[in-house]
Amino acid sequence: MKTMVPNLKNIINHSPSIDKVGVEERCARFQSRSIKNESKWEGLKMVLSMIDLTTLEGKDTPGKVKQMCYKAHHLNDNMSDLPNVAAVCVYPSMVKLAKKELIGTNIKVASVSTAFPSGQAPLSVKLSDTKFAVDNGADEIDMVISRGEFLSGDYNFVHDEIATIKEACGHARLKVILETGELSTLDNVRLASDIAILAGADFIKTSTGKISPAATMPVTYTMLQAIRDHYVATGKMIGMKPAGGISNSKLALHYLVMVKETVGDEWLNNTYFRFGASSLANDVLMQIQKAKTGIYSSADYFSID
Amino acid sequence: MSKKTQDIWSYAPAPESSKVVQIKEKYDLYIDGKFVKPSSGKYFKSFNPADEKEICSIAYGNEKDVDLAVKAARKAYNTVWSKLSSAERGKYIFRIARMMQERSRELAVAESIDSGKTIRESRDIDIPLACNHFFYYAGWADKLEEAFPGRKPKSLGVAGQIIPWNFPLLMAAWKIAPALATGNTVVIKPAETTSLTMMILAEIIHEAGLPAGVFNVVSGYGDTGAAIVNHPDVNKIAFTGSTAVGKIIQKALAGTDKKLTLELGGKSANIVFDDAPIDQAVEGIVNGIFFNQGHVCCAGSRLFVQENIAEKVIEKLKFRMASLIVGDPLDKNTDIGAINSKEQFETIQKYLKIGKDEGSEMYQSPCKLPKKGNYMAPTLFMNVAQSNIIAQEEIFGPVLTIQTFRTIDEVIQKANNSPFGLAAGVWSDKGSKVFNVTSQLRAGVVWANTYNKFDPAAPFGGYKESGFGREGGLHGLIPYLKFD
């Protein structure tokens, strides 16, 4: 195992086992870190800069997407010194519009694809879904893996599908959504992470947000360990995106603690770490205002797009 | 590893306020329900190992004070405590537990100031566990007949107890709670470097209204402890501390009818197999050896890792160690506090030198250390053999020796090949292997896929030079009882 060649056979046979109790204990330790004063303030700004502001609803309209894009680079115009969010995340049909709305900003446009959120479609459909988003200017593609095939043990299928989509992405970075809420065990989460990384994922991502539980600390921790092991073995850095379920600042800061202590400070930027969230930004803004002025405003003082 | 961009984001100081505890200038002995001055008039100073500042003065009890305390304990035993109904006895102990809980924040801060342990541990582990021991044994007080059916359990009389400096309040709780629950009275001595929480506990017990003489504290040095051990009217000695002192006590008690329990040193094996959940095992290695600065008798100080994964485990261990924060014990983010005393600090340094001289490879994590105080970086020794002194003797600090092994039989032999036998850890995903190995290890406590977990209901104690007798659980009642 010392010099294991990272190929699919080795990964399936040697993906490490995960002890859930131990993982939960470690995660509790992250949450016992006390983040105060300037580290809180710096951390909150970092959180803002790592958010993928997301709308993924059947009822999405151009109007909704436009308003969200405006929010992405005007988080709160009454506060100075705020970063933008990292990206907006939309359905493929909204990519062109979002791209246009964000001209002149450094905000990326991410698009879900591959028959999001279920992934239950033939490869040809998934490929054209992906190509459509890329052709419309998507900077990042958030694909879902085929959980059915994974759970039935067809790891080759899962691997090859990711590799094919990666090819279709061209220059767009590929985020691979494992939908960990459907994988049920941390052993599965680890194996799926290893397969996705091997198949060419630039990022691995916990969830679609459509399945509960979405992102949890134990799941994110397990995926970060896979990222770190890959880095040690190959020197290549893979990004991490927990999505869904992280809606308050305190929890987001503890995710940063986890990133710092599990993979290292090199991952503390939006090239390698993202939060997929829609309501997190406003809670962070509220906390930043509290840190600056000493008073909490009501939620009505923060725009809800 | 390539570039290291540490400290893009670091944690600001988050100190726990020390204002919650009012430390007095000096603390007296507690004998016969009264706080009294030592007969010699002597006090000794107690220092904060984190900044070497003086904290307070502690009464230095001598033979005369011990005699007074034992007499008071005997009188209380004869006239009150042994006459009281067991349910009433239980009520007192429950009361002590609740009052400790109410003052837990104060106790935690005092413990960290006095011993150098981190506030995270004193707050989350030492103090809650100490309270739980009182709760647990309070429950047994009126159920002794059910605990030992048909055996007619009876109390012994006066118990003399000597407490170590590594878990000052917790070890006191381990001894006081079962002694009182079984109907004995107590004369106890805290370690000279860490008397503070015992003094606060005496105040709590006083306030709880425990009858005078049932609980007595005589603080002091080794000679004070010797006076307790050698006092003719003590029925039972419970000692936790070094093997060397344990041997002296056992010799002193030979030929007397005093009962004895000894909880002594250890050099416990932590065994990691190649099918273990590796990242969690690494976490367990860290908890096993760096918990409480390694001042833990059951510390997993000998790591045995299967040879084919050794490189990987050591790489992960080094990376994990880099995120351990060494510093102010009162900071909520500190992982490793101050070494308890200058003396212990020097002992550890001596072992580091021995390890290097023996040819082992030393690694220390690249952490920042405060300029003042007894701090040291967590340390690994690699390429260690069974014959190395650092793999044989108890270092009692944040120092881990790493040995590799090839087969199950080999590691069982090596783990057992030690004069000690206090604890062990086994890491494997395979249940049958875990049961096979754990049942062959000669150690009092064996953890599987975890380490350093304690519970009042679980007995604790050692084999061989790690001592005898059990504390905790039903077993922990036995040393304080006699049977028909």
Would the CB atoms of A17 and B429 count as touching at under 8 Å?
yes
- Please indicate, yes or no, whether residues B260 and B307 belong to a single structural domain of this protein: no
Mutate to test the interface with B, among A34, A35, A48, A253 (most CBs of B within 10 A): A34
**Pairwise CB contact (< 8 Å): A265 & B7:** yes
Q: Give the residue on B whose Cα is nearest the Cα of A33.
A: B333
Q: Tell me if B9 and A42 make a contact (CB, 8 A cut-off).
A: yes
| Residue B283 in tokens | 């976490």
In a domain, B9, yes or no: no
Confidence (pLDDT) at B143: 98
- Find residues 14-53 of chain A whose CB sits inside 8 Å of chain B: 16-19, 21-23, 25-26, 32-40, 42-43, 46
Q: How far is A4 from chain B (nearest CA, A)?
A: 11
* Average pLDDT for B106-116: 98
- Look at residue A1 and tell me whether its pLDDT is greater than 90: no
Q: Are residues B280 and B389 in the same domain?
A: yes
Residues of A catalogued as catalytic: 142, 205, 241
* Domains, chain A: 15-295 (3.20.20.70)
Instruction: Kindly state whether residues B305 and B229 are assigned to the same domain.
Output: no
Would strands A173-177 and A140-144 be described as parallel, antiparallel, or unpaired? parallel
| CATH number (domain holding residue B309) | 3.40.309.10
* Tokens read off for B309: 């994964």
Q: Are B221 and B289 found together in one domain? A: no
Q: Rounded mean pLDDT of chain B?
A: 96
A235 → closest Cβ in B2, B309, B449: B2
Same domain, B67 and B132: yes
Rounded CA-CA distance A33/B232 in Å is: 51
Whether residue B288 is contained in a domain is answered as yes
E-assigned strands of B48-164? 54-59, 154-155, 158-162
Summarize pLDDT for B45-73 with one digit per residue, the tens: 999 999 999 999 999 999 999 999 999 99
Q: Which domain holds residue B36?
A: 18-264+466-482
Contacts of B5 in chain A (CB under 8 A): 264-266
Contact A36 B315 (CB under 8 A): no
Judged by CB atoms closer than 8 Å, whether chains meet at B449 and A21 is answered as yes
| Nearest beta carbon to residue A260 from set B1, B9, B449 | B9
In the structure, what pLDDT confidence band is assigned to residue A5 with cuts at 50, 70 and 90?
confident
Looking at residue B222, what is its pLDDT? Answer: 97
- The count of structural domains within chain B is 2
Q: What is the pLDDT of residue A4?
A: 66
Structure-token match 């690494």, residue found: B282
Considering only CB atoms, which chain A residues are within 8 Å of B312?
Answer: 1-2
- On whether residue B248 sits in a domain, the answer given is yes
Residue B48: CATH number of its domain: 3.40.605.10
Q: If pLDDT is split at 50, 70 and 90, which confidence band does A3 have?
A: low
Q: Given this model, what pLDDT does residue B3 score?
A: 42
Residue A54 contacts B where some CB pair is shorter than 8 Å: no
Residue B4 lies in a domain: no
Residue B152 lies in a domain: yes
- Kindly state whether residue B2 falls inside one of the protein's structural domains: no
B27 close to B56: Cβ distance less than 8 angstroms: yes
Residues B306 and B436 placed together within one structural domain of the fold: yes
Sign of the Cα pseudo-torsion (B413, B414, B418, B420, in order): negative
Residue % of chain B over a pLDDT of 90: 98
3-state secondary structure A251-267: HHHHHHHHHHHHCCHHH
Name the residue of chain A whose CA is nearest to B2's CA: A235
- The residues pairing with B29 across neighbouring beta strands, listed in sequence order, are B36
d(CA A40, CA A37) in angstroms, rounded, equals 5
Helix or strand run (H / E) with residue B448: strand B445-448
- B217 shares a domain with B99: yes
**B294 and B257 within one domain:** no
Tally of residues, chain A: 305
Asked if residue B177 and residue B34 are part of one domain, the reply reads yes
Position B64: which residue type? K
CA atoms of B436 and B446, how far apart (whole Å): 12
Tell me: the pLDDT tens digits for B280-289? 999 999 999 9
Q: Is residue B7 part of a domain?
A: no
CA distance B12 to chain A (A): 6
Torsion of CA A35, A39, A40, A43, to 10 degrees: -110
Q: Are residues B294 and B256 in the same domain?
A: no
Average pLDDT over residues B338-348: 96
| CA distance to partner chain A, nearest, from residue B10 (Å) | 6
Distance (Å, whole) CA B54 – CA B23: 11
Q: Let me know if residue B370 belongs to a domain.
A: yes
Instruction: Give contacts of A269 with chain B, Cβ < 8 Å.
Output: 8
Write out pLDDT tens, residues A52-91.
999 999 999 999 999 999 999 999 988 888 999 999 999 9
Whether A2 shows a pLDDT value over 60: the answer reads: no
Q: Based on DSSP, count helices (H) and strands (E) in chain A, helices before strands.
A: 12, 8
Report the pLDDT value the prediction gives residue A150, as an integer from 0 to 100: 98
A-chain CB neighbours of B276 within 8 Å are 17
The per-residue pLDDT of chain A, averaged, comes to 95
pLDDT digits 0-9 by tens, A106-160 = 999 999 999 999 999 999 999 999 999 999 999 999 999 999 999 999 999 999 9
| Chain B CB within 8 Å of residue A266 CB | yes
User: Where residue B2 falls among pLDDT bands split at 50, 70, 90?
Assistant: very low
C-alpha B402, offset from chain centre: 24
**In the prediction, which pLDDT does B1 show?**
37
Residues B95 and B108 in one domain: yes
Q: pLDDT tens for residues B415-458? A: 999 999 999 999 999 999 999 999 999 999 999 999 999 999 99
**Do B314 and B392 belong together in one domain?**
yes
Looking at beta carbons, which residues of chain A come within 8 Å of B333? 33-34
- Among residues A243, A226, A70, A71, which one has the least CA distance to residue A143? A243
Percent of chain A with pLDDT over 70: 99
The Cβ of residue B24 has, within 10 Å, a number of other Cβ atoms equal to 13
